[in-house]
Amino acid sequence: MIKIGMLIGERYEILEKIGTGGMSDVYKAKCHKLNRFVAVKVLKQEFSENENFVSKFKVEAQAAAGLMHPNIVNVYDVGNENGIYYIVMELVEGITLKKYIEKKARLSVKEAISIAIQVSMGIEAAHNNHIIHRDIKPQNIIISKDGKVKVTDFGIAKAATSNTITSNVMGSVHYTSPEQARGGFSDEKSDIYSLGITLFEMLTGRVPFNGDTTVAIAIKHIQEPIPSPREYVPEIPISVEQIVYKCTQKSPDRRYQSMGELTEDLKRSLMTPDEDFVKMADPDEEASTRVIGAGDVKEIKKQVQKRSSVTGDSIRLRKEVEEERSRKKKVKTTKQSELEEEDEDEEYDPRMEKIITILAVIAAIIIGVIVIFLVGRAMGVFPSGGSEQQTEVNTEQSSQENQTENEAGGFLSGQETVGLPNVEGWPFAEASAKLKQSGYEVAKEEVFSDTIESGNVVSQSPQAGTQLKSGEKVTLRVSLGKEQTQVRVPNVIGLSEMDAVVTLTEAGLKPGEITQTTNDDPTLVDMICYQSYSVGAYVEAGTAIDLKVSVGVGESTYSFVGSIAGPGEEDADYVSGTETIVILSTSAGVEIHRTTATAFPLNLNVTGIKGAEDGIITFVYTVTLPGTTTTNEAGEIITIPGVTEERRVNRAVRFAKE
């Protein structure tokens, strides 16, 4: 059982829990051997006695330990102590790509491509070591505070061999490739598909396929074509759209064949985004949209049930499978009826074809006669039936012309009025796409909201149900989330003391205590090397940020020179002249000096104190409490003798830097 404060591997002190996953928990720890903070991933206790889980956990450790790349969370150590299986890895301070997308609603094209390049380079390094991730998704991509992108959690990665590998894990269904969804062979190109879905989400703020159940979403990955990201964000360049298309082809053979190829196209799209340079494979039968068969559905359900047995959601997922089975049965019945009707319609009858031909000829003759009559009448060949009849004909003709004009103006030029759909609560990208498909213009206004999630529609104007003509404007008020009363802590590491103070002030903060300290980085001499709040953290405006200025490499020394008053300041029972032990120690409890005194103030001069700015003076002495007398109910006098007890008083002090 992991507890805060415990030491594992004789060097890693567990400090706090910072995350949890399906089968492991992640803790922040301090490595006392190398004096650095690390992340420790520990297999959950309920799984540690399961041989299958332990085996999978060991595979993860062995696979990840062989990877060293700037865009991968590096693994430092693996171990097993008293049934506790753990992996020690690089501690990356930042946020996941998923939270970053949610925070910004969607990313700019350049930012999305830049992140995708770093991710692809990290995964390429894994592929070069014959390791497939199999669970690429924004939740497994971390953006550090300095902007570095790192891939993490090789939780279901396995070392690839020359043999066929069958994945028994669905992964996250919104990002899973068609071959993973079917439970079949998966290789490096499965990671390419998942990265394509991740790129789609970065660009649009949404995933391409959604559904009520995991099974329904998996089926969409297999048989539905991916929508164009330009449907949601029209300004996406054609090259970026084509990269997404190529990554997410149903057939692995039509995707990029390596992460290196994908990286090259991503880099080229940064330079010439509007150039149509992406080479797509020729269409073939295998790559076309596939109608899912009964075997595929059975396999998908099998994979989902396997996954649910791991996560403990078997009851819920089994219910989803049954619902999907029922829905598929209804769809099958409906499609069967449609096919039967089509078969009946397509039956060929020669006699019917002959009759239709004769009727068509007769209709053509009648139309020709009418046209000749109307033209002749207009030229005066055929007399009219009088002024009243002419007036009636003209009126009727005028009425018909007006009706035709109205129909042309209404239906032919798209001006019919329809009821405005309700998109309140929808993500903006989806709401905008829905309204544009209905023929409306969309305007966006951003507002703060305490109840609506950031990026979703708070309200619409006009309201839902309003009769509007196609082409009219609809204004969507989109949530920015709760109004921030806090400010973001800037990075002042590496700045001079004056520049740091200015930066904090401009950010709405104020400098706290500024002290000097040593630092191992020689480039930070006379610069800020420490700030009391992490970069990017949100704090209340006006918060004081403590700073430390580096005085160079090496250990600083301090001294204490002063006159110490007796413990009577803290303890009224202390009697002057009592023999008292005076102990000077660091705030960490390391004793520096000890003496005995009977008179105060005591002058003390201690130099060469290492590695501590703060200290404690401890007074140890005895106090004799006088006896008392009392009378009981019988009138007897009872004497309670005095007692002597040892007392200890602590007083905080500050050392001076030498």
The catalytic residues are 135
Distance between CA 248 and CA 190 in Å, rounded?
A: 9
Distance between CA 390 and CA 120 in Å, rounded?
A: 79
Distance between CA 508 and CA 530 in Å, rounded?
A: 19
Element (H, E) at 561: strand 557-564
Q: Residue 283, preceding bond cis, omega within 30 degrees?
A: no
493 HSE (CA, 13 A, CB side): 15
Q: Minimal CA–CA distance to 311: which of 140, 170, 154?
A: 170
Phi and psi (nearest 5°) for 349?
Answer: -130, 105
Strand partners, 30: 13, 37
Distance between CA 285 and CA 250 in Å, rounded?
A: 11
Q: Minimal CA–CA distance to 548: which of 534, 524, 531, 523?
A: 531
Element (H, E) at 221: helix 214-223
Distance between CA 50 and CA 488 in Å, rounded?
A: 44
Phi and psi (nearest 5°) for 10?
Answer: 60, 20
Per-residue H/E/C for 445-500: EEECCCCCCCCEEEEEECCCCCEEECCCEEEEEEECCCCCCEEECCCCCCCCHHHH
Phi and psi (nearest 5°) for 617?
Answer: -100, 125
188 HSE (CA, 13 A, CB side): 20
Q: Residue 626, preceding bond cis, omega within 30 degrees?
A: no
Amino acid at 615: G
| Residue 151 Cα to chain centre, angstroms | 13
Distance between CA 87 and CA 57 in Å, rounded?
A: 9
Residues near 551 by beta carbon (within 8 Å), at least 6 away in sequence: 516, 517, 518, 519, 525, 526
Q: How many residues would you count in the chain?
A: 658
Helices (H), 346-439: 350-378, 387-407, 428-437
Per-residue H/E/C for 267-291: HHHHHCCCCCCCCCCCCCCCCCCCC
Vertex 232: Cα angle to 231 and 234 (nearest 5): 70
Query: Residue with structure tokens 């992140």?
Result: 115
Phi-psi region of 162 (alpha: psi -120 to 50; beta: other; left: phi over 0): alpha
In angstroms, what CA-CA distances link 40 with 29, 122, 534?
Answer: 7, 21, 20
Distance between CA 152 and CA 142 in Å, rounded?
A: 7
> Quick one: the chain helix, strand, coil %, rounded to 5?
35, 25, 35
